[in-house]
Structure 1
Amino acid sequence: MDNGPAPFLEIGRRARDLLTRDYNYDKKFSLSIPSSSGMGLTATGVMKDEIFVGDISSQYRSEKTTVDVKVDTYSNVSTKVTYDVLSGTKAAISFNVPDQKSGKLDVHYLHRHAAINSSIGLNPTPHLEVAAAIGSKDIAIGGEIGFDTSTSSFTKCTAGISFNKPDFSAALLLTDKGQAVKASYVHTVNPLTGTEVAAEMTHRLSDFGNSFSIGSVHKVDPLTLVKTRFTDNGKVAFLSQREWRPKSLVTVSAEYDTKSVNVAPKFGLSIALKP
């Protein structure tokens, strides 16, 4: 729904994406091959600490059904089948092989004044999760709870509110079962150059500790952007991303810990190809 609220998990996402998205300190390569027939393939490989891991995923789309299958280097198979039940309502069943207890049913409902996501494990002692947001695309309020029937305990309890406009977005979240408050803000400084700044701060009610991150993004030209980030623990990060052909990206990331001068900076390279 274009005028309805986004799902609860989207609250604060615009700032989180600016501060964390695409930062990578490993060597990563991915190749996506779309198909007009509805079948698409994606191969991904990551070199981390001299260890190579990868996976191959495929996606098939029909009118109302989407099937996702992923196989990794450890022979684990993940499958997800999504079906459009009604307008604004989707149901998805997912499971992993050989994990027999990994089955899960998700139901997503979007309305012009509400967005509801629910999940239940398909096993004798399921894990339940429900997230809901009400309002509009400009302002939304909601919450999320998780309950583990095997231990009869709540695993998640979160509430939040967001304000969204084309040039800014602000969010306030009560997380960690009420033990932390997280506030985030992102503002568009110059729409022509895509320049944005963002900040996120977390206050822990248990020990009254604080942490924060600030960052920025700027488009050097229509195909190149740079991002910066600074955190309260003294870490400075930089990212440069270039779209060297349509939908194909090369990303270079670096991070330096100013409080650990004897530790070498981290560097990462990511190449994503989409013919």
Structure 2
Amino acid sequence: MGKGPGLFSNIGKKARDLLTKDYSHDQKFAVTTYSEDGLGITSTGMNKGGLFCGDIDTHYKYQNSTINVKVDTNSNISTTITIDEVLPGAKTVLSFKLPDEKSGKLDFQYSHEHVGLSSSVGLTPKPQVDFSGAIGSDVFTVGGEVGFDTSSGLFTKYNGGIGITKPEFSAAILFADKGDTLKASYLHELNPITKTCFAAEISRKFSANQNTFTVGSSYALDPLTTMKTRLNNHGKLGTVLQHEWKPKSLITLSSEFDTKALDKSPKIGLALAFKP
């Protein structure tokens, strides 16, 4: 797919990833193996809130198609079939989970030089229908999304936003939660050599009369090690230290401190990902 506005979900993604990605408080371990015929298996274990859970994700790629089958500790089987370039610039995704017969869903995505579209339809007699669209270019994007529940006849969401993306910065304004939340974000790349970035986001929730302001940064200590920090106006300080100890294999240590309650123990997360 060529350059273009991308999908609506990409608006504000750079700042959102810097402020939220890899900030986990769980202990997680993942091992991925590959075979020469395109078969990959990922085994994941997680200690979440004192409870251990895990899953096995099998993925097979053939030409422009990928099949993923995931089995978790509760014996749920999730299957996703992805076909890229079913039409030029288009992708189709079929997903369902067993034994939940109402979980079937068909997604369609289309990216063009000046438009990005995404739709999702539940495979039930009265499905949930979602649609999003973005128009513009790889520099300026305006878009929105809407969700409709045909069983109740009610809209489940209607959001919108605009975004500007340049090599050195990106900015976005988003209306979320059916217009109840306004978010404005900005990311600036200070030094491309050390991958030093700064991001800020202000969120206003009108129904609660509450503002949240978050700032964060990312800095490469060396070519294989990155450190991220974030702090919001509620006193929550988060850090992430990630090291690529071999190609595509990562160890990530994250923490969160409440600077307004230093007597409380910090939340610590550890994630190991191994890909031979």
**Shared fold, TM over 0.5:** yes
Query: What is the aligned partner in structure 2 of residue 204 from structure 1?
Result: 205
Q: Distance in 1 between matches of 2:138 and 2:36?
A: 32
- Does structure 2 conserve the Cα–Cα contact (< 8 Å) formed by 1:101 and 1:123? yes
Query: What is the aligned partner in structure 2 of residue 43 from structure 1?
Result: 43
**TM-align CA RMSD:** 1.1
Amino acid at match of 2:211: N
Compare 170-179 and 200-209 and name the one that shifted more: 200-209
Amino acid at match of 2:203: T
Amino acid at match of 2:99: P
How many angstroms does 1:175 deviate by? 0.9
How many angstroms does 1:59 deviate by? 1.0
Query: What is the aligned partner in structure 1 of residue 173 from structure 2?
Result: 172
Query: What is the aligned partner in structure 2 of residue 90 from structure 1?
Result: 91
How many angstroms does 1:256 deviate by? 0.6
Query: What is the aligned partner in structure 1 of residue 232 from structure 2?
Result: 231
Q: 1:54-203 alignment to 2 at 5 Å? A: 54-84=54-84, 85-203=86-204
- Does structure 1 conserve the Cα–Cα contact (< 8 Å) formed by 2:3 and 2:112? no
| Unaligned ranges ≥5, structure 1 | none
Pair 1:23-2:23 in alignment:
yes
How many angstroms does 1:206 deviate by? 2.8
The alignment's TM-score, normalised by the length of structure 1, stands at 0.97
How many angstroms does 1:50 deviate by? 2.3
Q: Distance in 1 between matches of 2:246 and 2:158?
A: 43
- Does structure 2 conserve the Cα–Cα contact (< 8 Å) formed by 1:31 and 1:44? yes
Where 2:178 maps in the other structure, the secondary structure is: helix
- 1:131-180 Cα distance to aligned partner (Å, 9 max, x none): 00011111111000000111111111000110001110101001111111
How many angstroms does 1:207 deviate by? 4.2
Where 1:261 maps in the other structure, the secondary structure is: coil
Amino acid at match of 2:79: T
- Does structure 2 conserve the Cα–Cα contact (< 8 Å) formed by 1:82 and 1:90? yes
Q: Distance in 2 between matches of 1:199 and 1:121?
A: 36
Amino acid at match of 2:140: I
Pair 1:14-2:14 in alignment:
yes
- 1:69-101 Cα distance to aligned partner (Å, 9 max, x none): 100011000001122321111222110000000
The alignment's TM-score, normalised by the length of structure 2, stands at 0.97
Q: Distance in 2 between matches of 1:205 and 1:51?
A: 36
How many angstroms does 1:209 deviate by? 2.1
Compare 145-154 and 197-206 and name the one that shifted more: 197-206
Q: Distance in 1 between matches of 2:209 and 2:266?
A: 31
- Does structure 2 conserve the Cα–Cα contact (< 8 Å) formed by 1:218 and 1:226? yes
| Number of equivalent positions | 275
- 1:85-119 Cα distance to aligned partner (Å, 9 max, x none): 21111222110000000011111111111110000
Q: 1:263-274 alignment to 2 at 5 Å? A: 263-274=264-275
- Does structure 2 conserve the Cα–Cα contact (< 8 Å) formed by 1:2 and 1:137? no
| Unaligned ranges ≥5, structure 2 | none
Where 2:17 maps in the other structure, the secondary structure is: helix
How many angstroms does 1:260 deviate by? 2.0
Amino acid at match of 1:25: H
Q: Distance in 2 between matches of 1:270 and 1:112?
A: 38
- 1:30-78 Cα distance to aligned partner (Å, 9 max, x none): 1111333111111111112321101110111111321111000110000
Compare 17-26 and 125-134 and name the one that shifted more: 17-26
- 1:197-237 Cα distance to aligned partner (Å, 9 max, x none): 10111112334321121100000100111111101211111
- Does structure 1 conserve the Cα–Cα contact (< 8 Å) formed by 2:2 and 2:112? no
